[in-house]
Amino acid sequence: MKNIKDYNLEELKQELISIGEKPFRAEQIFKWIYQENVTSFDEMTNLSLELREKLKQNYTLCIFNILRKQESSDGTIKYLFDVLDGNAIETVLMKYHHGYSLCVSTQIGCKMGCKFCASTGIAFARNLTSGEIVEELLAVERDQNIKISNVVYMGIGEPLDNYDNVVNSIRIINNPKGINIGARHISVSTSGLVPNIYRLAEENIQCTLSISLHATNNEKRSSMMPVNNRYPIEELIQACKDYIAKTNRRISFEYALAKDNNDNLEDAKGLVKLLKGMLCHVNLIPINKIENGAFDKSSNENIIKFRDYLNEHGIVATIRRELGSDIDAACGQLRRKNLQ
Ligand code: SF4
């Protein structure tokens, strides 16, 4: 059966026309799904009984089951959802003073093989559909009875490796008649799939692009992130410059500090050289140690020194608050434990 959440508003209008219905029904259905967050077609009371029956026969609302929920002492909640085909995905809810932020997964498993990531070692199963990505958000809002204000595409999976579904899910989340979260509150992360960074720049979506950089020379970056062998740093930075020029949006560079690997002064100097003059921000991440992982967390003293060096040399850098470190918040860890 088709997942009705896989359609953006324009597509749903066309879909309704194809089953002999009026296109304006799409807006009514959108309201029930994304604003009222209903879990059955029967609740869509301004639709005729006949139409509700037709919808039931042809579509599913794809309501996830919660397999497991882990709550951290800082309020971060990590969900493991049953996506109804025997697979499981995880989604993390973080509470900030400015509201609720949700970290969504985009694939079941990941092909990229970053060495510091707990998803490495879990075989790639499939892409999530756009409706499944959107359902991560709706399922959490239902469970917590809240409205989420920020969405970050930073869970399991490489978002730009599931390009069409990710972009479609952004259109649904961003649509004022859908979930209505402003594009500036949506952030898409990538390990550096250069051709799709160029594509995203052309989409006319004002979302924030977040680049997992983690090293400043090709040798080191390739040893941490195999994707760098395909798209080396020079090509990645050029694509970022093009993205900034096209969208006028500031790029966020993620840099996970691993002890004795990429956290010394030479690395900080390399970062300044690479990013100087770009409209950007550096997010320093104290790496979460993973079981059997190759990297250890950098010392707090080192992290602060690294940040100060960047700030003193014209690169705006902040240290990301460590949320959920007591519940395995590095992506992939909850899922892997559950599967063992
Ligand atoms: S860090 Fe992200 S892109 Fe890299 S392997 Fe993990 S999930 Fe995939």
> What CATH number is associated with residue 52?
1.10.150.530
Measured distance CA(205)–CA(169) in Å, rounded: 12
Mutate to test the pocket of ligand 1, among 117, 187, 190, 295 (most ligand atoms within 8 A of CB): 117
Q: Are residues 7 and 88 in the same domain?
A: no
- Nearest residue (by CA) to ligand 1, atom 6, is 117
Asked if residue 208 lies in contact with residue 188, where contact means CB atoms within 8 angstroms, the answer is yes
Q: Are residues 47 and 81 in the same domain?
A: no
Measured distance CA(150)–CA(160) in Å, rounded: 19
Measured distance CA(177)–CA(186) in Å, rounded: 17
Q: Are residues 56 and 69 in the same domain?
A: no
Sort residue 54 into left (φ over 0), alpha (ψ -120 to 50) or beta: alpha
280 given a catalytic annotation: no
Number of domains making up the chain = 2
Q: What is the pLDDT along the chain (340 residues), one digit of tens a residue?
A: 999 999 999 999 999 999 999 999 999 999 999 999 999 999 999 999 999 999 999 999 999 999 999 998 888 999 999 999 999 999 999 998 889 999 999 999 999 998 878 766 678 999 999 999 999 999 999 999 999 999 999 999 999 999 999 999 999 999 999 999 999 999 999 999 999 999 999 998 989 999 999 999 999 999 999 999 999 999 999 999 999 999 999 999 999 888 888 999 999 999 999 999 999 999 998 876 654 567 788 888 999 999 999 999 999 999 987 655 555 544 544 444 443 3
Q: Are residues 305 and 182 in the same domain?
A: yes
Q: Are residues 70 and 55 in the same domain?
A: no
Q: Are residues 178 and 275 in the same domain?
A: yes
Q: Are residues 214 and 268 in the same domain?
A: yes
Mutate to test the pocket of ligand 1, among 90, 92, 119, 127 (most ligand atoms within 8 A of CB): 119
Q: Is the CB of 117 under 6 A from ligand 1?
A: yes
pTM for this entry: 0.93
Q: Are residues 11 and 126 in the same domain?
A: no
Of 60, 83, 100, the domain-final residue: 60
Of 45, 60, 75, the domain-final residue: 60
Measured distance CA(69)–CA(50) in Å, rounded: 38
71 given a catalytic annotation: no
Mutate to test the pocket of ligand 1, among 103, 104, 106, 120 (most ligand atoms within 8 A of CB): 120
Q: Are residues 209 and 333 in the same domain?
A: yes
Q: Are residues 31 and 88 in the same domain?
A: no
Q: Is the CB of 154 under 6 A from ligand 1?
A: no
List the domain range (segments joined by +) for residue 177.
Answer: 65-339
| Distance between Cα 118 and ligand 1 center (Å) | 8
Q: Are residues 43 and 111 in the same domain?
A: no
Q: Is the CB of 158 under 6 A from ligand 1?
A: yes
What is the helix (H) or strand (E) element at residue 222, kind and residue range? helix 218-224
Q: Are residues 44 and 74 in the same domain?
A: no
**92: CATH:** 3.20.20.70
Measured distance CA(121)–CA(270) in Å, rounded: 30
Q: Is the CB of 331 under 6 A from ligand 1?
A: yes
Structure-token pair, residue 1: 């059966």
